[in-house]
Structure 1
């Protein structure tokens, strides 16, 4: 079925929306009606494939759970037959097996969780199409480079000036390709962060540690000038290090590590290997998977799963271990109590040389004292406010999650009156109290500050 709107401008892209629920398709079309897209709709996988046989489609948004052919199977068909068509999965729950299958078979670009925010949906689709355009431009430039290389072979060797000019042009093309390739690799980091947000719906709010671990890793990597490739692997590992825990039951998830019985300890010790196994099929994540496997090794060789010792433990895994333990100690996930932030730093120092790389531990503790990246200050004034006290033009200093753990707004989002009103209504509907960390409009050059309610994490 094809929908014909009457846009004022030429459609910028063709989208196919697939869902067996008519009201969901209507809601998607309403959200996208002003985006100057050509919108096609299908009620199931068979209709979608039939449309794709006759229409040129840039992006497909498919529901995960549909009768007959589900979203993962449909996106797998599309990936094999139309690999240049972007694929997004619309899902109403965090189903680990379906998610992993969708990644492996459909090579999806993004997840969209139900219910979605219209602004974020539009932004996600714009970014996806921009990514697609960058990839097409990369392919065009690669073809251009090959054609120019063939032309160089035919040039007269004596025309030195012409060769010099062409060489300069090729360098410019190569620089553009490098930039495009860098954008593609950055998109993998973004995808793991979105995946992490989806997986957090399986975990209680106080066990959702990935964001703080990622903040610590990012600050350390930037401060110490780590190589770009290692930084990417570390950020992906920080987003997914606890992926293997999602195979546990709720009792094991909520019990501090030191209170586990022998049989439970055995299950606990396998989570790094489980996480690695789930990611190894994805080539861009293999470096991050290796860090996840070894982040429970110990400097003295008493860790697991491979009992590596000293510098045999990958550097990134040693750093990830420090960040994970520092946050999980404060959340009550290791000891039978929540450890205050300063006491957690003292414990890291105490076990330096036994559990942790002593030199790395010293640098990490210094970073936590001097910059406190886990508190989300970012060198600016930070206020902790309920929605009714928010003002337009404030910006979020930290990701905002719903009580169930779903990502609502990203860090850096500028607040508008419409967004503030939505947050107030959300509090009323969910019968809950939200607290947002925000930068006031004048905070750009202000000294670091933290509201009293946030001083004791």
Structure 2
């Protein structure tokens, strides 16, 4: 079975005995005492199963398993103890979320069967998560691609925000990055509730009526109400609903700071809005100044690194386009109709649609301006600051 098992006990003789009986069947790692176990868990090491003795000096088994539950929720936790009183058992289950509770002395056969059951449980949980994650991502991607055909301008913004959010999250190794990316992908879904004529007036800089302004301002709540109907997207829905909340709840007066994932989401949204009306560098300065009270400095630094690193600009025909590129202009038919809004990221379904249009009577205006970020050349987003060699070979512009 796959997965590393961590055995924790303050008695080295007990650990040696465990390893001798288990090493042929399992991948086993030992921790002599609770403190050593905590150091392993906090170092980022991943374990499928953790078996800990209860009675240990300084850091007991209950503390170890509670820390494991917090740092690695999917890890299966097993308590091994000679203290079988009811309170110990209750505390272990409630605080450490124990999978099994074994009394000492425990025979090698019993421990082996318990570990096999623990590994099966771990693999079951991970398989379910992978299935849910892949299904969810596929569904969200399908919805956004279909809706991009209905409202290309709004979903062009969503594509830009998602692309930059993803890169900032990669640079910072944000733990809930998938929620941030999905929130960005669905951030403009409420725009479908606003008539197209209203958006055209807004984009043209025309005065909106009170009712039209209300519809535009409330699209995040509309989008959030739709997303809440999807199981496991409650946090994403909350992020979407709060996307335009700034001074009222998170301004300098309260000093309240956001979780890093939501901070990335809002900072990128602000940058995208400001960059549409000013230069990218001016937009970046404004975001940095206005968000300092509620946004972690690391988020702003990562965003600045990505913006300042720039991108390569190219003019390509449809057959030269590739997934991951971003349109630097609206893609139009020969007679001027918009097929894809500026800022959207190229994907396979979009390529197929453009190829079909290029071969039809309506045609596609070519070449098309696209942006290719320098970090796409198998470069770690965290290393953008040192990409001088790449930039020397490319025509680099600021975002």
Alignment TM class, shorter chain as reference: 0.5 to 0.7
Q: In the alignment, what sits opposite 2:239?
A: 291
User: What is the CA distance between 1:198 and its match in structure 2?
Assistant: 1.6
| Residues 439-454 of structure 1: pairs in structure 2 closer than 5 A | 443-444=377-378, 447-449=389-391, 452=395
Instruction: Check whether the contact 1:399–1:409 (CA below 8 A) recurs between aligned residues.
Output: yes
Distance 1:220 1:408 in 2: 16
Structure 2 vs 1, CA of residues 320 and 352 (structure 1 numbering), >3 Å: closer, same or farther? Answer: same
Distance 1:422 1:179 in 2: 39
Does residue 431 (structure 1) correspond to residue 364 (structure 2)? The answer is: yes
Question: Could you tell which deviates more after superposition, 425-434 or 322-331?
Answer: 425-434
Q: Deviations over 1:120-159 (max 9, x none)?
A: xxxxxxxxxxxxxxxxxxxxxxxxxxxxxxxxx9xxx998
The residue aligned with 1:455 is: 397
- Structure 2 regions of 5+ residues with no counterpart? 1-99, 333-338, 380-386
Aligned residue runs from structure 1 range 373-388, under 5 A: 382=312, 384-387=314-317
Q: How many angstroms apart in 2 are the aligned matches of 1:340 and 1:189?
A: 33
**1:282 alignment partner, SS class:** coil
Corresponding residue of 2:325: 398
Q: 1:317 to 1:330 in 2, by over 3 A?
A: same
CA distance 1:221–1:270, change in 2 (3 Å): same
8 Å Cα contact 1:396/1:439 also seen in 2: no
Paired residue for 1:119?
Answer: none
Shift of 1:302: 8.5
Which among 279, 300, 311 is matched to residue 256 of structure 2?
A: 311
Counterpart of 2:303?
368
Shift in alpha-carbon separation, 1:261–1:231, aligned structure 2, 3 A = same
* 2:194 equivalent among 224, 230, 248: 248
Correspondent of 2:132 among 182, 185, 204: 185
Q: 1:226 and 2:174 equivalent?
A: yes
Q: Is there any run of 5+ residues in structure 1 with no aligned partner, and where?
A: 1-152, 332-337
2:336 maps to what in 1? none
Q: For the Cα contact (< 8 Å) 2:307–2:398, is it kept in 1?
A: no
The match for 2:265 among 320, 329, 333 is: 320
- Structure-2 change in CA distance of 1:385 and 1:269 (3 Å): closer
Alignment of 1:26-65 (within 5 A): none
Q: 1:161 aligns with which of 69, 90, 108?
A: 108
Deviation of 1:165 (Å): 2.4
Q: Return the alpha-carbon distance in structure 2 between the equivalents of residues 179 and 271 of structure 1.
A: 35
Q: Residue 342 of structure 1 aligns with which residue?
A: 281
Q: 1:344 to 1:427 in 2, by over 3 A?
A: farther
Partner of 2:117: 170
RCO (CA 8 Å, sep 6+): is it higher in 1 or 2?
Answer: 2
SS at match of 1:384: strand
Q: Given that residues 326 and 345 in structure 1 are in contact (C-alpha distance below 8 angstroms), is that contact kept between their aligned partners in structure 2?
A: yes
Over 3 Å counting, the alpha-carbon distance change for 1:261 and 1:329 in structure 2 is farther
TM-score when scaled to structure 1?
0.49
Contact 1:210 1:240 in 2 (8 A): yes
Partners of 1:206 and 1:159 lie apart in 2 by 62
How far residue 174 of structure 1 moved from its aligned partner, in angstroms, is 2.7
Equivalent pair of 1:295/1:318 in contact (CA under 8 Å): no
Counterparts of 1:272 and 1:339, CA distance in 2 = 24
Q: What is the match of residue 276 of structure 1?
A: 224
C-alpha distance after superposition, 1:64-111 (max 9, x if no partner): xxxxxxxxxxxxxxxxxxxxxxxxxxxxxxxxxxxxxxxxxxxxxxxx
Judging changes above 3 Å, is the alpha-carbon distance between structure 1 residues 330 and 258 closer, same or farther for their aligned structure 2 residues?
farther
Deviation at 1:232, TM superposition (A): 2.3
Name the TM-score, length of structure 2 as normaliser.
0.55
Shift of 1:237: 0.9
- State the 1:316 CA deviation: 4.3
